Structure 1
Amino acid sequence: MRDEQLLERITTNPKIMVGKPVIRGTRLTVEYILNLLAHGATVEEILQEYKGLMREDIQACILFATKALENTTFMPLIMESA
Structure 2
Amino acid sequence: MIDWSSCSAVEQDPSRVSGAWVFRGTRVPVAALFENLEDGASIQDFVQWFPGVSLDQVRAVLEHAARSSAAVV
Consecutive unaligned residues of structure 2, counting only runs of 5 or more, are 1-5
Q: Which digits, 9 at most, give the CA deviation of each residue in 1:34-82, with x for residues without a partner?
A: 1111111001111211223211111222234345545657xxxxxxxxx
Partner of 1:65: 65
When the two structures are superposed, what TM-score results if normalisation uses the length of structure 1?
0.65
- Structure 1 residues 40 and 71, CA, compared in 2 at 3 Å: closer, same or farther? same
The match for 2:15 is 15
1:63 match: secondary structure: helix
Q: Is the 8 A contact 1:12 1:21 kept in 2?
A: yes
Using the alignment, how far apart are the partners of 1:55 and 1:28 within structure 2? 14
CA RMSD of aligned residues (A): 2.2
Counterpart in the other structure of 2:52? 52
**Matched residue count:** 68
**8 Å Cα contact 1:43-1:58 kept in structure 2:** yes
Mark the CA change 1:8 to 1:45 in structure 2 (over 3 Å): closer, same or farther.
same
Cα 1:34–1:25 change in 2 (3 A) is: same
Q: What are the ranges of 5 or more consecutive residues in structure 1 without an aligned counterpart? A: 1-5, 74-82
SS in 2 for 1:57: helix
**Rg larger in structure:** 1
User: What is residue 28 of structure 2 aligned with on the other side?
Assistant: 28
Distance 2:64 2:21 in 1: 9
